């Protein structure tokens, strides 16, 4: 790639980043339905035609925002290939696995909880977005199920629970809805949430005789 083309690509990525950031802020502040592409363009400092050219419409912009918020970057790397997840999978004990998993999941929740809330509300306005909402739920469960199966195979894991049961518990406790209820609505700090989630899950998934 030539230096000129490299600069153009970098400029395009920065423009897209500004558009996504502006959209995310406005969707949270005023709601998906109350935010126009012109509003987003004004905050991002771009022409509205730039948004149309890049994302085509507001629905596609929200989809792109959700995808990159979940990932945390622009790399095309699946959640189960991310370092935080593989660190949990590679842990030697159920307790260490759970600690790494909760830490990684909390970092994701801190990024995605608000935009997930926006998506759920937007799906009631634009039915096309409901498929994206349901896909997100399925993907999140798949991640929790893989983690649950790995955790239960390790020393210190409870022996009276199936992988499906453990996955359901991880799916529920480490959910955007519960995170928002306690962090946004009840004013918990992220650190307090993480400690609580770990303690709550440990009581369910790790044997009592494991080292605290």
Report pLDDT for 64: 92
Task: Return the pLDDT at 8.
Answer: 83
Contact in structure between 193 and 179 (CB atoms under 8 Å): yes
pLDDT at 73: 73
pLDDT at residue 118, rounded to an integer: 96
Q: Could you say which residues of the chain have pLDDT below 50?
A: 1, 210-212
Interatomic CA distance for residues 114 and 51, integer angstroms? 22
The pLDDT value given to residue 182: 98
**Distant-in-sequence, close-in-space partners of 85: CB < 8 Å, separation ≥ 6:** 79, 101, 104, 143, 147
């Amino acid at each position: 790639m030539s230096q000129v083309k490299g600069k153009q690509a970098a400029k395009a990525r920065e423009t897209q980043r500004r558009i996504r950031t502006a959209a995310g802020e406005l969707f949270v502040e005023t709601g998906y339905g109350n935010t126009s592409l012109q509003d987003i363009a004004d905050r991002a400092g771009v022409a509205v035609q730039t948004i149309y050219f890049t994302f085509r419409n507001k629905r596609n912009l929200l989809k792109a925002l959700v995808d990159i918020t979940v990932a945390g970057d622009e790399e095309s790397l699946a959640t189960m290939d991310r370092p935080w997840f593989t660190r949990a999978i590679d842990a030697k004990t159920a307790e260490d696995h759970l600690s790494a998993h909760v830490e990684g999941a909390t970092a994701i929740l801190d990024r995605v909880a608000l935009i997930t809330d926006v998506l759920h509300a937007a799906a009631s306005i634009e039915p096309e977005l409901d498929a994206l909402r349901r896909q997100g739920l399925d993907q999140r469960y798949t991640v929790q199920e893989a983690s649950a199966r790995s955790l239960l195979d390790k020393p210190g894991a409870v022996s009276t629970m199936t992988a499906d049961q453990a996955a359901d518990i991880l799916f529920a406790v480490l959910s955007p809805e519960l995170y928002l209820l306690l962090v946004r609505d009840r004013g918990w700090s992220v650190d307090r949430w993480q400690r609580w989630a770990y303690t709550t899950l440990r009581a369910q998934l790790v044997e009592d005789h494991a080292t605290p």
